[in-house]
Amino acid sequence: MQIVSDVVPPDVSLVSRCTIKSEPIPIRWDPSLPVFAKEEFLRAVGDDYGWLGGMDESGTLRCVLPYTIVRKTALRMVRFRVETIPCGVGLDVAEEKSFLNSVVQYFRSAGADIIIPPTNNTLFRTYPDGAIPAPYGSYVIDLQQSEDILWRNVSKTSRQNITAAQKDGVLVREGMELLDPAYDLIRETFRRSKMGFMSRDSFKQFALSLGENCKLLVAEHQGVAQSYSFFAFSMPSAYWIYGGNIEGQHPGAMKLLQWEAIRHFRTLGVRRYDFFGARIDPPKGSKQEGINKMKKHLGGSLSQGYIWKYSLRPARAWVYSKAVRVLRGGDIVDQEEHKMKVTVPQLEADTAR
């Protein structure tokens, strides 16, 4: 399967060449597909899960959309862990919109209450009629370039940090046996940012569900762990999902870890390195802006698309919306949808995916 991405502003009229209908299909994952379509992963993160296939009028499978259903307080919430995956001859944006409209009808008839925002890696090219969308992005690196080019794409300051860490003896190694200390440091890093993190058991289950399609890297200085990073990958892309750093870490340790991860996944034949989500045009001086700059300085280019949510049963979906506003001031779509009018006309087609 080939993944392609074109971002289409919401004011563009889409007239599909043909209608694409959604229907459940068997899960047939292999490493040529995104890792988050893998059955073991979907089973670990959802109470129910599956693949919807998009069929054209001739009965040809044109795309796949993996999904999970999460049940909380009697709510049935659909969540996508990866965007629409085109098959064979591909799928134009109008056809994807037709497919997503059918996906909404499928979940409504199946008794789901709401489609909640997808995970940070999931960038749709378009969204169904009636959805609440928001612009979103992710910094990505094309690993099908030479190592010399990848190194030149790293900013001068970051290259200096990486070289200094190497000279000072910072070492990067794999260490899946270090899941427990990695969890502790990642959770502590989230706590310092006033963010919650999953339980230890959930983290281990998450890692186990990925099997050989995950890596844990650690940067150490004089035997002391400075930084951990957890990755999920298959041939289309490697994702930097979670990271944790000690306070006062050795300068350059985390950047060296990232550089070694980029080199490693390129050697494995992975095509893209994805920094797992980025807000579009964050406020100047904000933490989000700083994170985006770090990813850019490591060689990432901004890929842009949409996240969205959909109220399938308004009365029940209201319960979710009320709860998430009380707990977090709203979900990511609530926080970002105001940028649609300002940001979306500036979005450019991204053909790297």
Per-residue pLDDT tens listing for the chain (353 residues): 433 344 444 444 444 458 999 999 999 999 999 999 999 999 999 999 999 999 999 999 999 999 999 999 889 999 999 999 999 888 999 999 999 999 999 999 999 999 999 999 999 999 999 999 999 999 999 999 999 999 999 999 999 999 999 999 999 999 999 999 999 999 999 999 888 999 999 999 999 999 999 999 999 999 999 999 999 999 999 999 999 999 999 989 999 999 999 999 999 999 999 999 999 999 999 999 999 999 999 999 999 999 999 999 999 999 999 999 998 889 999 999 999 865 544 443 443 33
CATH number, domain of 206, equals 3.40.630.30
Angle between helices 253-267 and 156-167 (to 10 degrees): 100
Residue 259 lies in a domain: yes
Angle between helices 200-210 and 179-192 (to 10 degrees): 120
Is-above-0.85 flag for pTM? yes
* Cα dist from 68 to 26, 112, 116, 141, whole Å: 14, 11, 11, 28
Residue range of the domain that includes 154: 144-270
153 and 249, same domain (yes or no): yes
- Are the C-beta atoms of 48 and 77 separated by less than 8 Å? no
Beta partners for residue 75, in sequence order: 72
Query: Encoding tokens for residue 228?
Result: 């951990």
Q: Are residues 117 and 150 in the same domain?
A: no
The structural domain count of the chain equals 2
Q: Does one domain contain both 47 and 72?
A: yes
The Cα 115–Cα 118 span in angstroms is: 8
Q: 236 and 329: one domain? A: no
Q: Residue 155 falls within a domain, yes or no? A: yes
In a domain, residue 193? The reply is yes
Do 152 and 266 fall into the same domain?
yes
Asked if residue 11 belongs to a domain, the reply is: no
Q: What is the pLDDT of residue 208?
A: 95
Q: Residue 117 in contact with residue 157, Cβ under 8 Å? A: no
174 plus 266 within the same structural domain: yes
CA 319, 324, 326, 327 torsion-angle sign: positive
Q: Which tokens belong to 13?
A: 């009229």
pLDDT, position 11? 42
- Residues 123 and 148 placed together within one structural domain of the fold: no
C-alpha to C-alpha distances, 309 to 193, 218, 264, nearest whole angstrom: 26, 36, 35
Boundary of a domain, candidates 270, 297, 326: 270
Whole-number Cα distances in Å, 23 to 28, 107, 197, 299: 15, 10, 34, 39
* Residues 167 and 98 placed together within one structural domain of the fold: no
Q: Are residues 132 and 210 in the same domain?
A: no
Provide CB contacts within 8 A for 305, sequence distance 6+.
5, 7, 83, 123, 124, 125, 135, 136, 137, 347, 350
Same domain, 265 and 207: yes
How far is 46 from 71, CA to CA, in rounded Å? 8
CA distance linking residue 183 with residue 83, whole number of Å: 27
Has residue 39 been placed in a domain? Answer: yes
Q: Are residues 82 and 111 in the same domain?
A: yes
Tell whether 86 and 111 lie within a shared domain. Answer: yes
Q: What is the DSSP letter of 278?
A: B
